[in-house]
């Protein structure tokens, strides 16, 4: 399904999926900000080389459309999950989640992107976040990687994940769902939205990427097209995400169908442009 750009709902050009009970979510586009040149115009990433004052302006414009300050993460292409309610980073070890940091040591809602020179301890290092608290705004930044929103069908539990190929291979989506289930073991029906990211036609990878998936799941080979006799591959990240979500037990999965590489007027793309801005996907539970 191809997502439509919605300008009216947030007074910004944003992309979203089908309406969900109890959940608000959208991905920004590059339109509507104050940045110039390769970062034009709604760049939300402070670690990109853009003027920090312009990024602050862009973030404030975004903030005015949200019920609270976003929970920003220091994303590292990993699979750890930040529990935004308890202030702890959860790491999967031996099939179980354990807290790497004591509760209260991190305050993500008061933090900016750690890559902007903020103290390391102010921003949780994780590639996913969860919450059960209404109006606790979760945020993921991307520029080709997939933003994924997960929620219970009743709209009482929410997660977001940054899913590039490394995160997907390491299980960031499965970990996010496991963290949600740990908090809400009574929930049986989950849904997901896979937002704008690079599509298969533009995502050429080496054999090490192919092997990272098929070594643990032979069925993943269906989502790669061989080039150069197997030395290179075209990887279908959205379909890999859908495959992993379905295997993990997510009942309803929607793909945005939007390619960041193919639509330079709407999206930042690291693979296309190198130096570029960042999109943000925001999600929160209703009151």
Confidence at residue 5, expressed as pLDDT on a 0 to 100 scale: 52
Confidence at residue 3, expressed as pLDDT on a 0 to 100 scale: 56
Confidence at residue 98, expressed as pLDDT on a 0 to 100 scale: 75
Predicted model pTM: 0.91
pLDDT tens-digit series, residues 90-133: 998 766 677 765 444 444 433 333 333 334 457 999 999 999 99
* Segments of the chain scoring below 70 in pLDDT: 1-10, 94-96, 100-121
- Domain regions of the chain by residue span: 5-196+240-285, 200-235
Give the span between the Cα atoms of 200 and 115, in whole angstroms.
29
Which residue in the block uniquely carries the two structure tokens 């591959």? Answer: 233
Confidence at residue 266, expressed as pLDDT on a 0 to 100 scale: 98
- How far separated are the first and last CA of the chain, in Å rounded? 29
What architecture (CATH level 2) is domain 5-196+240-285?
4-Layer Sandwich (3.60)
pLDDT tens-digit series, residues 39-73: 999 999 999 999 999 999 999 999 999 999 999 99
61: closest CA among 70, 74, 73, 50? 70
Confidence at residue 110, expressed as pLDDT on a 0 to 100 scale: 34
Confidence at residue 116, expressed as pLDDT on a 0 to 100 scale: 34
CA–chain centroid gap for 228, Å, is 31
Confidence at residue 100, expressed as pLDDT on a 0 to 100 scale: 63
């Amino acid at each position: 399904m191809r997502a439509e750009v919605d300008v009216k709902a947030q007074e910004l050009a944003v992309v979203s999926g089908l309406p969900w009970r109890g959940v608000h979510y959208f991905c920004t586009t590059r339109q509507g900000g104050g940045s110039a040149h390769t970062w034009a115009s709604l760049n939300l990433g402070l670690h990109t080389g853009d003027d920090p004052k312009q990024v602050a302006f862009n973030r404030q414009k975004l903030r005015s459309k949200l019920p609270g300050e976003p929970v920003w993460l220091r994303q590292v292409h990993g699979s750890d999950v930040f529990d935004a309610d308890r202030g702890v980073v959860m790491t999967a070890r031996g099939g179980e989640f354990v807290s790497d940091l004591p509760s209260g040591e991190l305050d993500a809602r008061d933090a900016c992107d750690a890559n902007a020179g903020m103290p390391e301890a102010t921003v949780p290092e994780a590639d996913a976040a969860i919450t059960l608290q209404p109006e606790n705004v979760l945020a993921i930044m991307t520029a080709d990687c997939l933003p994924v929103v997960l929620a219970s069908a009743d709209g009482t539990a929410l997660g977001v994940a940054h899913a590039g190929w490394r995160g997907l291979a390491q299980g960031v989506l499965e970990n996010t769902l496991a963290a949600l289930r740990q908090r809400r073991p009574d929930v049986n029906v989950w849904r997901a939205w896979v937002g704008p990211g690079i599509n298969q036609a533009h995502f050429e990878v080496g054999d090490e990427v192919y092997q990272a998936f098929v070594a643990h799941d032979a069925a993943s080979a269906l989502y790669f097209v061989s080039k150069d006799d197997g030395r290179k591959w075209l990887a279908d990240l959205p379909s890999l995400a859908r495959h992993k979500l379905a295997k993990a037990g997510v009942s309803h999965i929607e793909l945005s169908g939007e390619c960041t590489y193919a639509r330079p007027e709407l999206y930042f793309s690291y693979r296309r442009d190198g130096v570029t801005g960042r999109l943000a996907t925001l999600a929160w539970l209703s009151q």
